[in-house]
Amino acid sequence: AQKITQTQPGMFVQEKEAVTLDCTYDTSDPSYGLFWYKQPSSGEMIFLIYQGSYDQQNATEGRYSLNFQKARKSANLVISASQLGDSAMYFCAMRGHTGNQFYFGTGTSLTVIP
Amino acid sequence: GAGVSQSPRYKVAKRGQDVALRCDPISGHVSLFWYQQALGQGPEFLTYFQNEAQLDKSGLPSDRFFAERPEGSVSTLKIQRTQQEDSAVYLCASSLARQENTEAFFGQGTRLTVV
């Protein structure tokens, strides 16, 4: 069975500081993709960053980086230099080997404090 | 269009009414997904299409839910005899390919309220 776990329902961070959002996953698939999405109050899911299970290096996209630890089955999102516009829900997701669906966690609500 | 488009953005239905939600994916995207998102929850998978073929409908909660993508582009999610528990945001997403390394792009969703 595929499962994504996000244990932080809510997080606060000071503007310009870095923050780490936790994500652990469970799968028996030989290969898989890990994704992070941002969902502002407007409701649209915005793709942020992708990490492949066979990638040796951690993914980075601008201020976003993914701390991938395969042995621990974790894929934490690091946001550097937080901005007020980063306040949103963040979802970790996994796409399994069949590609038929994305499995989502319950999300973390991030609030950036000025 | 540039992104995934869903309509209507908001729908209010009386209990027992049938509703149809439309999704216009990114042109050329093979994969299309429907998700249901309850307030404060993560998206829950409903169904998956590869082109016009519905390859996975394991997430459809009952036989009142039906989805189609007849020409491999636009998709419609139909809910018959709506119930209050159907109230949620319905998200559509499309992906260029079926592989696990391909991200999905989401529409803004349709917020369904059953009264």
* Exposed / middle / buried, residue A62 (Cβ in 10 Å: 0-12, 13-18, 19+): exposed
Q: Could you give the 3-state DSSP secondary structure of residue A86?
A: helix
Sign (positive or negative) of CA dihedral B90, B93, B99, B100: negative
pLDDT one-digit tens code per residue, A44-93: 899 999 999 999 899 999 999 999 999 999 999 999 999 999 999 999 99
What is the predicted pLDDT for the residue at A99? 85
Q: Which of A99, A101, A104 sits opposite B99 (nearest CB)?
A: A99
Percent pLDDT > 70 in chain B is 99
What is the predicted pLDDT for the residue at B1? 53
Check if A25 contacts B (Cβ < 8 Å). Answer: no
In the predicted model, is pLDDT for residue B106 greater than 80? yes
What is the predicted pLDDT for the residue at B47? 98
Contact A47 B45 (CB under 8 A): no
Q: Could you give the 3-state DSSP secondary structure of residue B84?
A: helix
In angstroms, rounded to a whole number, what is the distance separating the alpha carbons of residues A63 and B29?
A: 28
Distance of CA A39 to the CA centre of its chain: 11
What is the predicted pLDDT for the residue at B100? 83
Contact A101 B56 (CB under 8 A): yes
Check if A22 contacts B (Cβ < 8 Å). Answer: no
In angstroms, rounded to a whole number, what is the distance separating the alpha carbons of residues B77 and B93?
A: 13
Which of 43-102 (A) contact B at CB < 8 A? 43-47, 50, 52-53, 91, 95-102
What is the predicted pLDDT for the residue at B2? 81
pLDDT one-digit tens code per residue, B68-105: 999 999 999 999 999 999 999 999 999 998 888 899 99
If you average pLDDT over residues B31-39, what whole number do you get? 96
The string of DSSP codes covering B33-82 is EEEEE-TTS--EEEEEEETTEEEE-TT--STTEEEE-TTSS-EEEEESS-
Question: Within 13 Å, how many C-alpha atoms sit on residue A31's CB side?
Answer: 10
- Of the pLDDT bands very low, low, confident and very high (cuts 50, 70, 90), residue A98 is confident
If you average pLDDT over residues A2-19, what whole number do you get? 97
| Whole-Å CA distances, A49 to B21, B65, B111 | 29, 32, 26
